[in-house]
């Protein structure tokens, strides 16, 4: 074990790119809604506003989930894993989580070399 495994102090282990992985789950259904990335600014904004903020690697900027669609993710709880390099956001989604309009970004399953709708 390392010191982060037992500390009570929030001290994220940022990757070389300054990011941690953020896993988003629905509070009621426990469904996996999406996976994104957070930097320190996104984590602070999420804690401060109570709505999910992430770092967009493609746009190289901070973004609030739902800033254009209105489909925000209201934070109920933030958890961090044992070595503090991944965050779990337990949320109440307001609308679909996926930019495609699907409830979850994980709406397809792998069937050989094809993608088919998940049940």
The per-residue pLDDT for 108 is 98
The per-residue pLDDT for 103 is 96
The domain that contains 69 carries what CATH number?
3.10.20.810
What confidence category does residue 57 fall into, taking pLDDT thresholds of 50, 70 and 90? Answer: very high
Q: Is the dihedral of CA 100, 31, 106, 36 positive or negative?
A: positive
| Domain range enclosing 41 | 3-117
DSSP assignment of the chain equals --GGGT--S------TTS-EEEEEEETTT--EEEEEEE-HHHHHHHHHHSB-EEEETTTTEEEETTTTT---EEEEEEEE-TTSSEEEEEEEESS-SSTTS-SSS--EEEETTEEEE--
Place of tokens 């254009």: 68
Domain count, the chain: 1
Q: Average pLDDT, whole number, for the chain?
A: 96
The per-residue pLDDT for 3 is 79
């Amino acid at each position: 074990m390392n010191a982060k495994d037992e500390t009570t102090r929030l001290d994220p282990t940022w990757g070389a790119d300054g990011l941690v992985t953020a896993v988003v789950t629905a509070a009621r259904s426990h469904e996996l809604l999406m996976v994104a990335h957070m930097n320190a600014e996104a984590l602070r904004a999420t804690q401060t506003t109570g709505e999910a903020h992430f770092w967009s690697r493609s746009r190289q900027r901070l973004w609030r989930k739902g800033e254009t669609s209105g489909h925000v993710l209201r934070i109920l709880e933030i958890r961090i894993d044992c070595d503090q390099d991944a965050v779990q956001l337990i949320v109440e989604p307001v609308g679909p989580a996926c930019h495609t309009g699907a409830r979850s970004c994980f709406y397809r399953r792998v069937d050989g070399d094809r993608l088919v709708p998940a049940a």
